[in-house]
Amino acid sequence: MIEIRKLRKQYGSGSRITHALQEINLTIDKGEIYGIIGHSGAGKSTLLRTINLLERPTEGSVFVDGVDLTALSTKKLQDQRRRIGMIFQHFNLLSSATVEENIAFPLRLAGTAKSEARRRVGELLALVGLTEHGKKYPAQLSGGQKQRVGIARALATNPHVLLCDEATSALDPQTTNSILNLLLDINRKLKITIVLITHEMQVIRSICDRVAVIHDGQIVEQGPVAEVFLKPRHDVTRQFIEQVADSVEIDKPDVSGAPAQDGTVLKITFLGETTYEPILSRTVQQTGVTFSILQGTISRMKNTPYGQLVVRLQGPRDAAENTIRLLREHGLDVEVYSNGLV
C-alpha cells in the first residue's frame, strides 16, 4: 500500500546541512492504522509530509498503491494526491466558509458537479456526527467539532490513505478519545489506511496496529504495537512507554538481597486471549510447585488484551524448570529474574 525506500531529507548546503530524515524504510499495509511517534524535532512531521510529497525527499522513493510519487509529473502528482487525505493539528479550516463549504472545498477543486458535491457533503456530515452543524462557521464550533470537519474534508474525494498530523494534540483528553474512536470507525467502515504521527503513546496504544519510533531523523524501532510495548529495545521507546499511566512494562523487582531458598522469580507476559486463561494455575498444579504473585498488570492495546505477572515459584528445581518449559510451550514469554530453587 505505502512503501518508503531509502528515504533521506536534508535542508541547507555545504557545512550548514541539516539531516531531517536518514535512510528511512517503511512498509504500511492496506487498511491498517500505522503510528509514527517521536519527540519534537525528531522528523515525524517531515516524514508524514513526504508520503504525499508536500515535502519532496532529497533521495529515495515513496510508493502509494504501487505508484512511485517521486517519479510523477506535477499534473499526475496532483491527481494522485486526491487519493491521499490529510488532517492537521490546528484544523486549517476556512474561517469565512460554513462547515458544508469547508467539506465541499476539495470537491470544488476537483470539478465535482454541485449536486454530487451536496450529496457527498451530506454523507460526510452524517459520518462524522455533524449533520445539524452544516450551516455553522468554524468560530461557532468546539475544537473537537472543528477536527471532525477537518476529517470530513479530508475524506471528501474518497481517498485510499488518510494522513493525520498530530490530529489530537490540541484537544482535551475526552475530546481526544472521541476523535480516536471516530478514526477507528472510519478505518473499519471505509477500509482506509490511516497513518498518524503523535508524541503521545496513549494514542498509539489506543488505535494503532503497528508503530515506528523516530529519533534524530532515523527509525530506531518498529513493529506491532503490542510487541513494541511489551519488549521495547530503544531508550526513546521506553521513555514514551513511561508516559502511559498504567505502563505495560512493570518494574523488575529487587531480588538481590533475597536468600537463595526464596525460590525462582519469573516475569510472565501474556498476549491475546491467553491473558484470560488460567494457564499458570493449571501448570503449577501439573508440576507441583507453588507460586506467589509479586507484581501484575492487565490491560488492552486496541483490540488486543495483554498482561504481565512477576511471580515467585517455590519447589524442587526440576519442577520449576518443567513449569517454565510448559509455560513457554503455551506461547507465553517467560523471563527468569533469579533462580534460587534447589
| Digit-coded pLDDT (tens) for 86-95 | 999 889 999 9
Clarify whether residues 304 and 225 are in a common domain. Answer: no
273 and 234, same structural domain? no
List of residues 6+ apart from 266 with CB closer than 8 A = 310, 311, 312, 313, 324, 334, 335, 336, 337
User: For residue 227, what is the domain's CATH number?
Assistant: 3.40.50.300
Cα→Cα distances 339→204, 214, 316, Å: 36, 37, 11
Q: Are residues 80 and 178 in the same domain?
A: yes
The answer to whether residues 56 and 164 belong to one domain is: yes
One domain for residues 60 and 197:
yes
Residue 250 lies in a domain: no
Query: pLDDT tens digit string along 248-299?
Result: 555 555 555 444 456 889 999 888 888 888 999 999 999 999 999 998 888 8
Q: How far apart are CA 250 and CA 204, in angstroms?
A: 19
Residues 83 and 176 in one domain: yes
What is the rounded CA–CA span in Å between residue 271 and residue 305? 6
Ramachandran angles phi, psi of 109, nearest 5°:
-65, -30
Question: Which range marks the domain in which residue 34 is found?
Answer: 2-241
Low-confidence ranges of the chain (pLDDT < 50): 257-260, 341-342
How many domains does the chain fold into?
Answer: 2
Same domain, 78 and 168: yes
In a domain? residue 43: yes
Residue ending a domain, choose from 193, 211, 241: 241
- Judge if 189 and 310 occupy the same domain: no
Structure confidence by residue, pLDDT tens digits, 69-105: 999 999 999 889 989 999 998 899 999 999 999 999 9
Same domain for 297 and 174?
no
Question: Model pTM?
Answer: 0.84
What is the reported pLDDT for 342?
41
Count Cα neighbours of 318 within 13 Å in the Cβ-side half-sphere.
0
Residue 296: per-residue pLDDT: 87
Which residues 6+ apart lie within 8 Å of 192 measured at CB? 31, 155, 159, 160, 161, 162, 186
Cα 328 versus chain centre, distance: 28
Residue 247, domain member (yes or no): no
Q: How far apart are CA 270 and CA 284, in angstroms?
A: 16
Q: Give me the residues paired with residue 295 across strands.
A: 310
Q: Do residues 91 and 154 lie in contact, with contact meaning Cβ atoms separated by under 8 Å?
A: no
Regarding whether 136 and 16 lie in a shared domain, the answer is yes
Residue pair 32/210 in contact by the 8 Å Cβ criterion: yes
